């Protein structure tokens, strides 16, 4: 039976830690694999991408496979052709489908219709590949344990939703500091609170949230209002990750950002480019995690 990585919802702690161990071996080159030898991977991208696209393409090639990049303008998913038909046809040509879709429902339909594993390369709801790369990075710098306090400062977006899903499986302390009205997905939050083996919090006060934080994480703020007003910027201004906010965290706190970033908005230049930042290590680890996911899914699908 084939397996998909659409989110962490149906994945166990052992599964997730298994992927991370695979990634460590591949990165250290203690494990060499040609798991995609003579295989092809369809890459459907409705949205623009730098790190996700390049890391998947390079990873597929390093595993001996052939990546096929398919833009929305080329295939017209759900416009020119149905999601179901695209999934079933691509399953005849490829051994895996990687998809970055605007709507999570599109990805789910792809996974339900495809006969091969489907990997979520980001949707509006969750971003599981990014969080696996983040955890790998934290493990490398000895900042991931049941007592690690990871504080996300910004909006309750797909990054926060995936952190909540991960915290439900693996013990940790996760805090989302968001403005009122910008909380994470309510069902994902409820499930995380009910099932977590660690601690999950949602606060509206960034200063309170980052107290004793081991990790401070941020991401792009939501787009401004359609009428051109600056109300969104004003709402999120207290949630900027800057030197003043970091002084409230642990002295050796580290800073993360999934990129791309807008310096001077959600994070200052001195912080993202400073000595506490590990954003480039995060970005590099996307490659190793993607290779591990591809290998793991092929090994555990039949």
Q: 26-62 burial string, b = 16+ CB within 10 Å, else e?
A: bbeeeeebebbeebebbbbbbeebebbbebbbebbeb
CA distance 224 to 11: 35
Which helix (H) or strand (E) is 153 found in, with range? strand 149-153
Residue 179's SS3 state is coil
**Residue 195: which domain range?**
142-277
Token pair of 265 as six digits: 């908005």
Residue with tokens 């591990």: 292
Is residue 36 in some structural domain?
A: yes
Q: What is the pLDDT of residue 228?
A: 47
Is residue 2 in some structural domain?
A: no
Question: What is the domain count for the chain?
Answer: 2
Q: Which residues make Cβ contacts (< 8 Å) with residue 156, sequence separation at least 6?
A: 176, 178, 182, 183, 184, 185, 202
Is residue 5 in some structural domain?
A: no
Are 273 and 290 part of one and the same domain? no
Q: What is the CATH number of the domain that holds 166?
A: 3.40.50.1370
Are 34 and 75 part of one and the same domain? yes
Is residue 207 in some structural domain?
A: yes
Pairing of the two strands 66-71 and 118-120: unpaired
Is residue 133 in some structural domain?
A: no
Is residue 8 in some structural domain?
A: no
Q: Which of 205, 169, 162 is closest to 184 using CA atoms?
A: 162
Q: Which residues make Cβ contacts (< 8 Å) with residue 211, sequence separation at least 6?
A: 248, 249
Are 231 and 249 part of one and the same domain? yes
Helix (H), strand (E), coil (C) string for 251-263: CCCEEEECCCCCE
CA distance 87 to 89: 6
Are 53 and 34 part of one and the same domain? yes
Q: How far apart are the first and last CA of the chain?
A: 5
pLDDT per 10-residue tile (average), the chain, 302 residues:
96 97 92 89 96 97 97 92 97 98 98 98 98 98 96 98 97 97 97 89 98 98 65 93 98 98 98 98 98 96 76
Is residue 4 in some structural domain?
A: no
Is residue 189 in some structural domain?
A: yes
Token pair of 232 as six digits: 């969104």
Which helix (H) or strand (E) is 40 found in, with range? strand 40-45
Are 207 and 117 part of one and the same domain? no
Are 105 and 153 part of one and the same domain? no
Are 273 and 146 part of one and the same domain? yes
Are 62 and 118 part of one and the same domain? yes
Are 293 and 271 part of one and the same domain? no
**Is the whole model's pTM more than 0.85, yes or no?**
yes
Spatial contact of 270 and 106, defined as CB atoms under 8 Å apart = no
Q: Which of 70, 86, 89 is closest to 78 using CA atoms?
A: 86
Q: Which of 115, 101, 170, 103 is closest to 4 using CA atoms?
A: 115
CA distance 261 to 274: 14
Are 154 and 71 part of one and the same domain? no
Cis previous bond, 260, omega within 30: yes
Are 207 and 120 part of one and the same domain? no
Are 118 and 151 part of one and the same domain? no
CA distance 62 to 113: 28
The burial of 66, by beta-carbon neighbours within 10 Å (0-12 exposed, 13-18 middle, 19 or more buried), is given as middle
């Amino acid at each position: 039976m084939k397996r998909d990585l659409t989110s962490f919802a149906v994945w166990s702690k052992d599964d997730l830690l298994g992927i991370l161990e695979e990634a460590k071996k591949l990165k250290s080159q203690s494990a060499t694999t040609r798991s995609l030898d003579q295989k092809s991977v369809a890459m459907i991208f409705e949205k623009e991408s730098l790190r996700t696209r390049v890391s998947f393409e390079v990873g597929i090639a390093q595993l001996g496979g052939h990546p096929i990049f398919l833009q929305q303008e080329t295939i017209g998913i759900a416009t020119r052709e149905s999601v179901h038909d695209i999934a079933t046809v691509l399953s005849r040509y490829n051994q895996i489908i990687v998809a970055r879709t605007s709507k999570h429902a599109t990805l789910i339909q792809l996974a339900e219709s495809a006969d091969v594993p489907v990997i979520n390369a980001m949707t509006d709801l969750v971003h599981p590949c990014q969080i696996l790369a983040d955890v790998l990075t934290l493990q490398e710098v000895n900042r991931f344990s049941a007592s690690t306090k990871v504080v996300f400062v910004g909006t309750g977006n797909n990054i926060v939703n995936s952190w909540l899903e991960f915290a439900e499986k693996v013990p940790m302390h996760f805090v989302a500091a968001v403005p009122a009205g910008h909380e994470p997905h309510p069902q994902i939050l409820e499930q995380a609170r009910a099932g977590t083996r660690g601690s999950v919090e949602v606060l509206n006060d960034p200063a309170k949230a980052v107290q004793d934080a081991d990790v401070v994480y941020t991401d792009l703020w939501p787009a401004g209002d359609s009428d051109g007003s600056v109300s969104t910027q004003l709402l999120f201004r207290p949630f900027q990750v800057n030197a003043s906010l970091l002084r409230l965290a642990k002295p050796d706190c580290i800073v993360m950002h999934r990129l791309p970033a807008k310096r001077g908005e959600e994070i200052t230049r001195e912080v993202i480019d400073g000595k506490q930042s590990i954003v480039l290590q995060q970005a590099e680890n996307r490659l190793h995690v993607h290779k591990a996911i591809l290998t793991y899914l092929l090994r555990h699908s039949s």
